[in-house]
Structure 1
Amino acid sequence: MILKASNVSTKNFFLSASKKNSLSADRKLLLLKIAEAVALEYGKNEVVHLNFICTHNARRSQLGQVWSFYAAHYFNLNIDAFSGGTELTAFHRNTIKTLQKAGFHFQLENFCHQNPSYNISFDGARKTVLGFSKLYSDPINTTPFIAITTCNNADKNCPFIKKAIHRFHLPFVDPKASDATDKRDETYLKTNQQIAAEVYFIFDTVKKLLA
């Protein structure tokens, strides 16, 4: 089964988000530090693995993985994106919906009522990325990696992340609180745009540092 994307161009969404996003001085400094670490490791091995980590691996960490998957294509960088949680749940349907509205395609890979998996792509993609909820230590997450925690609980509950060569805490507001409200689509869109924009900033900076 294929879950169709909207008519929105992923590229246009990505570029538009990057232009709209406003960064505080502290947030910009944090993103610069992440980019510098990525560029440092890239210079050593010409490949980097990113692992976005939140509690349930259902929303923010999935958005981080998917946008990094796209950014690697857009900036032509050999950077692999993964994600994981401290608990198993599922790739939340509202996260899927907001990514579809940004032009991503979801093809059901393995149906499971509790935790289905999807092959995710976009127009012009040379490969797909597999999306499903998993622990951050799942074997699919290639090591060593740069760990990026996207929620405070994951940062607090993981005092030590094995196989992480660098670790950063990049928290985002959880859109989960809007799930049963009329603000749901707007809230998920806002988080989607912010994560897309900050991933753009990181990858754009890495590209410039490697030039």
Structure 2
Amino acid sequence: MSLLPTLTQTAQQLTHTFAQISEERKEVLQQLSAYIREKRDAGKATELVFICTHNSRRSHMAQLWAQAAATYFAVDRIVTYSGGTEATAFYPAAVKAMQKAGFDITKTEESTNPKYKVVYADDRAPVEVWSKKFDDAANPDSGFCAIMTCSDADGNCPFVPGAEKRIAITYEDPKVSDGTAAQHEVYLERALQIGREMLYVFSKV
């Protein structure tokens, strides 16, 4: 099972840059690797819910990269989700950055909070993404790991109902670049950082 060609190329390049991840950061990431290993060793599927305040940028990037990283490293029975403390929309610049990395993303519904179909591998079902609250009916309500991708959500959600594990893997918000000449570069940089770290997580499973 393999990722789409451009995404495979991006993943290969990122796996050669694991040295950019600090030892302190690797310790945090390995908490997630350990959780996935425990679920696998118990013969159970692993459900990961990535949570950010608006479910518009970092949580979507992490959800999609984690699903792709699981396929890249042939870690089976992984299902990823995302949510926010409020719903907004998957931000267009974040969508573009993920497309640039090699994800095939198509808008399937026009609205203020559109739905997108994301293809990451030819032999895997596409992922449907849109902005939603973390307790949306589309997300699991028990037995999952909640991964907080922003310090805001980490601070505002000290308790996530139904989560059996909670890990803070926070990222700087690319929103700071919105409307500037650096926007494209900053979003791509964040997408690749998240990709590198999710690939690292699954490389340790």
Same fold (TM over 0.5): yes
Whole-angstrom CA distance in 2 between matches of 1:204 and 1:56? 29
Identity of aligned residues (%): 36
Indicate the residue corresponding to 2:200 in structure 1: 201
* Equivalent in the alignment of 1:119: 117
Cα deviation digits, residues 96-146 of structure 1 (max 9, x gap): 00011111112223221x100011003524210011000111111123210
Whole-angstrom CA distance in 2 between matches of 1:172 and 1:9: 24
- 1:41, distance to aligned residue in structure 2 (A): 1.7
SS in structure 2 at match of 1:119 = strand
Question: Whole-Å Cα distance in 2 between the matches of residues 196 and 185 of structure 1?
Answer: 16
The answer to whether the 8 Å contact 1:60/1:150 transfers is: yes
Of 4, 7, 18, the residue aligned with 1:10 is 7
Q: Deviations over 1:21-66 (max 9, x none)?
A: 4111210111111111111122223310000000000000000001
What's the RMSD between the two structures over aligned residues? 1.5
Provide closer, same or farther for how the CA distance between residues 116 and 151 of structure 1 changes in structure 2, counting only shifts above 3 A. same
The 5-angstrom pairing of residues 13-32 of structure 1 reads 13-21=10-18, 22-32=20-30
Amino acid at match of 1:190: E
Matched, 1:40 2:38: yes
2:128 is the counterpart of 1:130: yes
TM-score, normalised by the number of residues in structure 1: 0.90
Gaps of 5+ in 1: 1-6, 207-211
Paired with 2:48 and 2:56, the residues of 1 have a C-alpha distance of: 17
Q: Could you tell me which amino acid in structure 2 is paired with residue 20 of structure 1? A: T
CA contact (8 A) 2:101 2:192 kept: no
Identify unmatched segments of 5+ residues in structure 2.
none
CA distance in 1, matches of 2:16, 2:85: 33
Match of 1:159 in 2: 158
- Label 1:99 to 1:125 Cα distance change in 2 as closer, same or farther (>3 A): farther
- TM-score by length of structure 2 reads 0.92
Deviation at 1:8, TM superposition (A): 7.0
Which SS does the other structure have where 2:128 is aligned?
Answer: strand
Q: How many residues in Structure 1 have an aligned counterpart in Structure 2?
A: 199
User: Which range moves more in the overlay, 118-127 or 161-170?
Assistant: 118-127
- Range moving further from structure 2, 95-104 or 10-19: 10-19
Check conservation: 2:52, 2:148, Cα contact below 8 A: yes
